[in-house]
Structure 1
């Protein structure tokens, strides 16, 4: 367990909005970095308008990705605002941005511009399709990327339409990829004294996340298809109905299948059936096996079946609502939900970072800030501006002081 958070003393100029960038910078903040989140003086981050739901007028979508940050309200289209960003960039270790290509260059805030004043900067550009290629200028939206990357084509019922996942997972994994790249660049900077310009694209992240599906297509030329809640290569691996509910069964190997047959279903004949003796055979005869298991499981109460399968070391779970998931005993035991107080919003509940150090106590997170909540504090303490200068900038509209 570290005596202090590993990124303590690292300063991040966060010019990103919505989800992928803020998700990355929140992770850096969870690890101890100081995050200066730059927002539009009037509307702030786009997700502040994404309601319902909200708590005391603040979007809960915005809350999910913006704890442990200080909000600085700056109009980056003004010369005074651009100067503030450059002055902060001189003192930053990291910049994260997801502007449309060319936007920051027109403001004099591109990587090449910032490198002139801070050669050691780690500058992370997040975009939809990367900084190169024929689609470099397109904006990136998770829903569109889920469609274009093939994920929707492999998600949903076999005879149903392509389906999106319930969260913007491509945005989220892109944010995680950005964090990994930033941490690697920091190590490289400390070893060799070199900054870096990182090119992190949603489309790259999505295609990489296809994993075994991508490998299957690239090496066989066979396009993947939808299997509903079943698995294309592991069988049985799907939902089954019981007398009073549903279970999610994930039989990952032949030993688990045999244990289920003998110890739960008490069916030696099924365990020895050549159609199901191996995962390969089960995959070829999935419909026959699914019919047999569906009939057998309908004779069980959910709790009894879960107990029997768990005792037989067969992976299984119950289909839960989001509320039920957060009421599970593991959540309380591992202090997964963190409460952070805010004077205007009240206590904000967020999910603890999954990056943990063994033996670490429950961390203290600061609540997501209001627009411009820290403008005055950052300008006075980081840039040494006096009160009169800040008031002049506020009156001009270049900044907003809460």
Structure 2
């Protein structure tokens, strides 16, 4: 069955998560993704706990639907092989520190000379320009610098990072969006281009209403825990057994919520009737709600709220997530063969196409797993050529 990107070849030099997760999505969409690492490995994510038979589960999460080869780009023969690959590639993704590709002689200007249609996407912490351009950028650092940590956590507690690499995840999505857009432009003009993705830029763009509130009103948002700066009640309440998130997004939903709690008069009281008034009287209202919520289990409240169309959901741990009937119904987990682990379970791509469904066709590759076969079949190199490259340390 045809896939959207099956005629696109991606050379993936990236490491850790933001770049690899982006190239993985391109692979999900049918692109031929060639993961390129140095002999002996380049990607530190392979060493990140926990492991299953020496394979990092972190690595497995970001590298399906790819092939893997090793090339030493510091060796003349390795660099030549890479440039030969660029001639027939569509996209190069890299996330080395700013300036590294230039030092290797593999800047966009060099790639463009061998293939004017090449699209090069560089993913870095701070971008290709500016006073911090050469600083290393890791997700928790960018959560801190980019303002996310300052608005996350309890009001009287310390600034808190989000428990997932959200800046990396968002950056991987922008990586894909930008590459698809560049491919579209190339279809129209015949020209490739360089893309500069900065994790800090992505994080700043994600400040959304927090940014708008500051830019338009000068408001510096502060931590409100599981509450919402602009909506009440829109927070977690402790139930008899576990917490429940309740999100009353408008006055009508609050009216229904009040009725379910057995307190229909709240939605008529002047101090609670509108969202603006509820914000002013946040502490009093939430205290009243909390005293009632502990009477029932979270799922009991969820059932009652769901029947009336009031958004809510229990706070699940990861085990409960994958046991959730909706997650199971949507078949969010795929099990595929793996050369050393037998089978691995991976979370599927969340996009569902009616005519071109996405599936996991390739396991996350072992280091350099496809090097020799790739060089023989794709580069027409003989066994003697490959042995020579090994001796030179080029592969």
Same fold (TM over 0.5): yes
Structure 1: distance between partners of 2:47 and 2:298: 42
Confirm whether residue 7 of structure 1 aligns to residue 30 of structure 2: no
Structure 2: distance between partners of 1:365 and 1:333: 21
Map 1:1-400 to 2 at 5 A: 3-51=1-49, 53-262=50-259, 264-358=260-354, 363-399=359-395
Structure 2: distance between partners of 1:269 and 1:215: 35
Deviations 1:197-254 (A, max 9, x none): 1011001000001111111111111211000011111110111112222211111111
3-state SS of 1:87 partner:
helix
Structure 2: distance between partners of 1:301 and 1:23: 38
Q: CA deviation at 1:108?
A: 1.4
Contact 1:131-1:199 within 8 A present in 2 as well: yes
> Cα RMSD (Å) of the superposition?
1.2
Structure 2: distance between partners of 1:165 and 1:217: 21
Contact 2:121-2:195 within 8 A present in 1 as well: yes
TM-score (norm 1): 0.96
Deviations 1:28-82 (A, max 9, x none): 000000011001211342100112x111110000111000111111122111111
Q: CA deviation at 1:350?
A: 1.1
Large movers: runs of 4+ above 6 Å: none
Q: CA deviation at 1:362?
A: 6.5
Q: CA deviation at 1:373?
A: 0.3
3-state SS of 1:248 partner:
strand
Contact 2:333-2:345 within 8 A present in 1 as well: yes
Deviations 1:292-319 (A, max 9, x none): 1011112223332221111111111011
Contact 2:65-2:360 within 8 A present in 1 as well: no
Structure 1, unpaired ranges of 5+: none
Contact 2:28-2:358 within 8 A present in 1 as well: no
Contact 2:3-2:356 within 8 A present in 1 as well: no
TM-score (norm 2): 0.97
Contact 1:335-1:362 within 8 A present in 2 as well: no
Contact 1:338-1:365 within 8 A present in 2 as well: no
Q: Which moved more, 1:151-160 or 1:95-104?
A: 95-104
3-state SS of 2:39 partner:
coil
- Between the two proteins, the alignment pairs up a number of residues equal to 395
Structure 2: distance between partners of 1:275 and 1:131: 51
Deviations 1:273-331 (A, max 9, x none): 11111111111111011011011112223332221111111111011110110111122
3-state SS of 1:382 partner:
helix
Contact 2:98-2:127 within 8 A present in 1 as well: no
Structure 2: distance between partners of 1:301 and 1:69: 45
Contact 1:44-1:73 within 8 A present in 2 as well: no
Structure 2: distance between partners of 1:289 and 1:271: 11
